[in-house]
Amino acid sequence: MIQGHLAIASVPIQEWKTVYNPCEALSIGTIFPELNMPFFKTDSMGAGGQHSVLKGCADIPARAGENSEGQQQEAMMRQIQEVSFMADDVRLYMDTHPEDQKGLELLQNVLSKRSMLMEEFAEKFFPLTTDCMTKIFERNPKSHCYCWKEGPMPWEGGCA
């Protein structure tokens, strides 16, 4: 048997660049445009060989009756999912780039925004985590509302 090298892998160190907005990041699966590589080259091509462009959150048209409670709840849940995804992706980046100040700043911002959204969601609808419930009891220590019965169970889509 001949022993030799079939190949030598070269993996460049990722550098901080611009990131996708939360809506695009969740839809694409990464916050980093340079990591958005389609499995097949044709996956990124639209009609006539042009690269397709993902619609951003601002480009998605509002639905009629957007003010219904169910739609508000769905929209807020989507925001929480988007920000949570960004937090996870930046945290993974920070595992290999602990000194990157731009990454740390973004992580702090998205964690703060996530906390605010989770708190707001708990006040309007129901708590998604026990941390959200803690805020309710901090404001009203005599509260008897655990509110779990107000929302879907985790297997019904209740977890962010």
Asked whether residue 126 carries a pLDDT value surpassing 50, the answer given is yes
Q: What's the pLDDT tens digit per position in 74-119?
A: 999 999 999 999 999 999 999 999 999 999 999 999 999 999 999 8
Which residue(s) pair with 51 in the sheet? 45
**CA 65 and chain centroid, separation:** 25
Mean pLDDT of 50-78: 63
SS3 content of the chain, % helix, strand, coil (to 5): 55, 0, 45
Q: How far is CA 126 from CA 64, 67, 96, in A?
A: 25, 18, 36
Q: Which residue has the higher pLDDT, 155 or 129?
A: 129
Distance (Å, whole) CA 41 – CA 109? 34
The domain locations on the chain are: 15-35+68-124
**CA 1 and chain centroid, separation:** 49
Please report the pLDDT score of residue 66 as a whole number.
54
Distance (Å, whole) CA 126 – CA 71? 15
